[in-house]
Chains A and B, each alone.
Chain A
Amino acid sequence: MEATAYAVGTIEIHMTKNVRLIARLDVKGENLIKGVHLEGLRVIGDPQTHAISYYHQGADELLYVDIVASLYGRSKLSDIVRRTAHEVFVPLTVCGGIRSLEDVSDLLLAGADKVAINTAAVKRPELITEIARRYGSQCMVLSIEAKRQSPDRWEVYTDCGREGTGIDVVDWVKRSVGLGAGEILLTSIDMEGTRKGFDCNLVEAITAEINLPVIASGGYGEPSHLKNVVGVGADAVAIADGYHYKRTTVHEVRQSAMNYGIPVRNVK
């Protein structure tokens, strides 16, 4: 792919790398669910059926998040992942309730390519290093649930947006790089499920500080939101309810990206 220069608002950006379009599937027990601000969960259906459909629509990557696993202990995710891995041949990231190297090993054996960790990493940051050492940084995604405290300050939340930690998001991200995180999954609790756009200030606060890939999650409602968040440096964009409620498809989002001149994988 050739380097593409394009304008987003008044910012001129040089990109040589395709922006990844990720389908995010939040799971509770055996069901695909969706909420607003990570609350008020509604059952959407069978995660497997949706995952396969997004794969065939051309998703670059799938993200499974067991959003209550850290509250209730054991997750059924490895069963869902195992079934999905037989029919989905793009990368699969799994998040939720992962506490140990054994949990990581189970999920990788089941067919996951990367794991994303929030609560357990906040409780015991060395876990990031242990996973990076054993499986490589590319496998270790730090998941952050961020809640805005002021226009330029965000707090790290754990346990599915329920527990404040007092930790500053930017400080935590900077620290995680040294610990071995290879990628950041950044979910805005404020924007999640609202369809009002990503928290671009949050994404920019992170991309300005670190050199790791950042997945922006929470708030997609229309194509201009994609343009705005890529404009502040997001490497990947995770969309959930836009796909689940069939307001859009991966194919349409890809087409919008191409219309804006954003480099994306060309899927026929």
Chain B
Amino acid sequence: MTKKTVIVDYGLGNLHSVRHALEHVGADSVQISSNISDILQADHLILPGVGAFGNGMRELAERSLSDAIINYAKSGKPLLGICLGMQLFASSSEEFGFHTGLNLIPGKVVPIPTITNCGSTQKVPFVGWSGMKRVKDWGDSPLSSTKDHEAVYLVHSYHMMPDDSSAIMAVANYGGHDITVAVCKDNIIGFQFHPEKSGRIGLSILRSFLDI
């Protein structure tokens, strides 16, 4: 049976990069859509996104997509958030004021510390490749075939702090601070990194997501 992967189009982020990567790893059918019934009927749903949190929630609201994503999540089918898409799963964010999120993974989105634990300043936004440190069993998650400390590509100034720390799958070390780079709660998965821009490793992670 053909499986349908839907990428949520809410006017933010490089949707086509995600689509190219999915097609490259052999996805059956990839659709970029902002249509509620497409979202509810997807076999795999991806919420991408680049930019500010408040703006992201506003764009979802303008297209009446928040409830569709929450209802899809309740169905138990796999849902993946990438970068801002993952952050929107949180309850709230402090980016440019206080904003409420989708609350699919209770927690806050907070700024990356600008001071290292040795007291020197560090550059934010973080732009570049960082090793992913495993903090819980990757079991049958999309990271299952990834080795510990494998490098992935990240661009961000904020990161997610789930209320229940057992939701954190992987962290990266920025100046001695643990920064959340992958989370998972039941069927909901979030990557702060960009699998579609993380070379061979990223492609294999996307393939594993499609195999769920």
Complex contacts, A20 vs chain B, CB 8 Å: 128-129
B-facing mask of A1-19, CB < 8 A → 1, else 0?
1110000000000101110
Question: Smallest CB–CB gap between A92 and chain B, Å?
Answer: 8
- In the complex, residue of chain A having the shortest beta-carbon distance to the beta carbon of B127: A213
A18-B173 in contact given A90-B197, A135-B50, A137-B125 (Cβ < 8 Å): no
Q: Do the beta carbons of A90 and B130 come within 8 Å of each other?
A: no
A208 within 8 A of partner (CB):
no
| A258 on interface, CB distance cutoff 8 Å | no
Interface size class of B (residues with CB under 8 A): 35 or more
Whether B176 pairs with A3 at a CB distance below 8 angstroms is yes
- CB <8 Å contact, B131 and A16: no
Complex Cα distance, B116 from A226, in Å, reads: 25
Contact B123 A235 (CB under 8 A): yes
CA distance A136 to B53 in the complex (A): 11
Task: Judge whether A111 and B116 touch: CB under 8 Å.
Answer: no
Residue of A nearest to B129 (CB): A265
Query: Once the chains are docked, how many angstroms separate the CA of A264 from the CA of B41?
Result: 42
Identify the closest chain A residue to B51 (Cβ): A136
Interface string of A70-113 (1 = CB under 8 A from B): 00000000000000011101110000000000000000111101
Contact A90 B122, CB 8 Å, known A16-B175, A85-B16, A213-B127: no
Evaluate whether A111 and B20 lie within 8 angstroms (CB atoms) in the complex, with A89-B196, A89-B199, A90-B153 already known: yes
The answer to whether the Cβ of B70 comes within 8 Å of any Cβ in the partner chain is no
Number of interface residues of A (CB under 8 A): 37
Cβ–Cβ contact B129 & A111, under 8 A:
no
Find out whether the CB atom of B20 lies under 8 angstroms from the CB atom of A2: no
Closest A residue to B177 by CB, please name it: A16
Contact between chains at A266 and B52 (CB < 8 Å): no
In the complex, chain A residues whose CB is within 8 Å of the CB of B50? 135-136, 138-139
Q: Is the interface of B mostly helix, strand, loop or mixed?
A: mixed
109-135 of chain B: CB within 8 A of chain A: 116, 118, 120-123, 125-131
Q: Answer whether residue B74 sits at the interface, using C-beta atoms and an 8 A cutoff.
A: no
Docked-complex contact B123 and A113, CB < 8 angstroms:
no
B190 CB–A CB distance under 8 Å: no
Min CB distance B106 to A, Å, is 26
B156 closest partner in A (C-beta): A138
Q: Mark A123-146, 1 if CB is under 8 A from B, else 0.
A: 000000000000111110000000
Q: For B17, give the chain A residue with the smallest CB separation.
A: A111
A86-B20, A89-B203, A212-B123 known; A18+B128 contact, CB < 8 A: yes
Residues of chain B contacted by A190 (CB below 8 angstroms): none
* B52 & A113 in contact (Cβ 8 Å cutoff): no
B34 → chain A closest CB, angstroms: 16
Answer yes or no: B202 CB below 8 A from chain A CBs: yes
Q: A66 vs B24: C-alpha distance in the bound complex, in angstroms?
A: 27
Least CB separation from B23: chain A residue: A86
User: Which residues of A lie under 8 Å from residue B157 when comparing CB positions?
Assistant: 138
Distance of A20 Cα from B155 Cα, bound (Å): 13
A24→B46 CA distance, assembly (Å): 31
Q: How far is the CB of B62 from chain A (nearest CB, A)?
A: 16
A residues 1-48 touching B (CB-CB < 8 Å): 1-3, 14, 16-18, 20
Binding site for A on B (CB under 8 A): 14, 16-17, 20-21, 24, 50-52, 116, 118, 120-123, 125-131, 149-151, 153, 155-157, 172-176, 194, 196-200, 202-203
Having A89-B21, A89-B196, one finds 7 other A-B pairs with CB under 8 Å, namely A1-B151, A3-B176, A16-B173, A87-B24, A89-B20, A138-B125, A183-B127
Q: 30 A-B Cβ contacts within 8 A? A: A1-B149, A1-B172, A3-B176, A14-B118, A16-B173, A16-B176, A17-B123, A17-B130, A20-B128, A20-B129, A55-B199, A85-B16, A85-B20, A89-B17, A89-B203, A90-B153, A109-B16, A110-B16, A113-B17, A136-B50, A136-B51, A138-B50, A138-B125, A138-B156, A182-B127, A211-B121, A211-B123, A235-B128, A265-B151, A266-B149
